[in-house]
Amino acid sequence: MTESEQRVTFRKQVSDGNYGSEVAEATVFAGDDTDEAIAAALATARRLVHQELRQSPSAQVRRALDYPPHEREERWRQAEQSAEVELAAGLRDNARSNYDDDEDIPL
């Protein structure tokens, strides 16, 4: 390793849901010490670690890698907003004006 070459390590530990965890770690060498080279090396290490953990036999581990937490929160917020819009527009069944009418309930 030369003086200008940087090493980047990314490690992720994910619970398997059974009081255990799986860990993957990748170390990538950046070509030089520029911010761009280091960011690219970190992105590569992150991709390799997630790729490895997605092959886990544990469904809990694979599910934990679906979306980063901030993206899951954003998707949940968008779903809530969509539901509020649909409810306000009267597109949801629970917003019907004849909700106490039992004729349409199958027996």
For 10-29, how does the pLDDT look when each residue is reduced to its tens digit (9 = 90+)? Answer: 999 999 888 899 999 999 99
Mean of the pLDDT values across residues 81-100? 62
DSSP state of 33: S
In a domain, 14, yes or no: yes
In a domain, 95, yes or no: no
C-alpha to C-alpha distance for 38 and 75, rounded to whole angstroms = 30
In a domain, 89, yes or no: no
91-102 pLDDT, tens digit per residue, is: 555 545 555 555
What domain range includes position 22? Answer: 6-67
In a domain, 18, yes or no: yes
Determine the residue type at 74.
E
Report how many domains make up the chain: 1
In a domain, 102, yes or no: no
Residue 25 in tokens: 């770690």
In a domain, 15, yes or no: yes
Report pTM: 0.58
In a domain, 99, yes or no: no
In a domain, 106, yes or no: no
C-alpha to C-alpha distance for 3 and 20, rounded to whole angstroms = 39
